[in-house]
A and B are shown apart, each in its own frame.
Chain A
Amino acid sequence: MADETAAPAAPPQDSIRETMAYAIGVAGWLVPGLGHAFMKMWGRAVMCFLTVGMLVILGAGMRGNVFSSGGDDAFDSLGYLADLGTGTFYLVARSLEANGADVSHADGDYGTRFLATAGVLNLLAALHAYEAARGRKA
């Protein structure tokens, strides 16, 4: 007699869809908007790219703090995680900030927030793309 308590095996199509959803989520994290572009959601793709890009450019231009992996405390580590949320734009922010951060003025402090927000916003967009790829209403 078959064991009725065992969960039924997922159909192959579901497993492929789940893998594709993961790939779309990762793509959306690496390049803002790419996950939505893969699903032909062009408006969302362009807006994700532009808004995250603008926040990164403004944040770096205002000499906000682009955190690195060797943080001294929990806030530095959390800031690094938030900045990493921008994916490849993290490298753009580092390259734009040739003169380093300057948080002795309000500009630099705002810039730090802009950069962290860009990362968190991009993570939200990547999660949205992942959920949409799984077939959830988006």
Chain B
Amino acid sequence: MNAGIGFKLSHLQSMLLFALLISIAFGFLSRRRPIERVKYIAWSLFLFLLIGVGIGWAMYPFSR
């Protein structure tokens, strides 16, 4: 019987993993040269995290 698998991730870990995986996929699909891919992945990851944390802080006043 397959017992399945289980992961317990925090909000930050989930966001980091999601941003990293999507950035890597976008970088490989949209750029050809390795150095351009690395730059694109780094920039995309930075924007994912910046916007994610930014939206989190923007919602903070409404959380109470």
Q: Which residues of A contact B (CB under 8 A)?
A: 43-44, 47-48, 51-52, 54-55, 57-58, 60-63, 95-99, 106-107, 110, 113-114, 117, 121, 124-125, 128
Contacts and interface: CB of A to CB of B under 8 A. Distances in A.
Given A47-B24, A57-B5, A107-B7, 17 more contacts: A44-B28, A51-B24, A58-B7, A60-B4, A61-B4, A61-B5, A61-B7, A95-B2, A96-B4, A97-B4, A98-B1, A106-B14, A107-B9, A110-B14, A113-B18, A117-B18, A124-B29
B22 to A, nearest CB: 7
Interface size class, chain B: 10 to 19
Contacts of B7: 58, 61-62, 107
Given A44-B29, A47-B28, A48-B28, A98 B3 contact: yes
A117 B19 CA distance: 11
Nearest to B25: A51
Contact of B25 (A48, A60, A97, A114): A48
Main secondary structure of the interface of A (DSSP, over half): helix
Interface centre among A54, A55, A110 (most CB of B within 10 A): A110
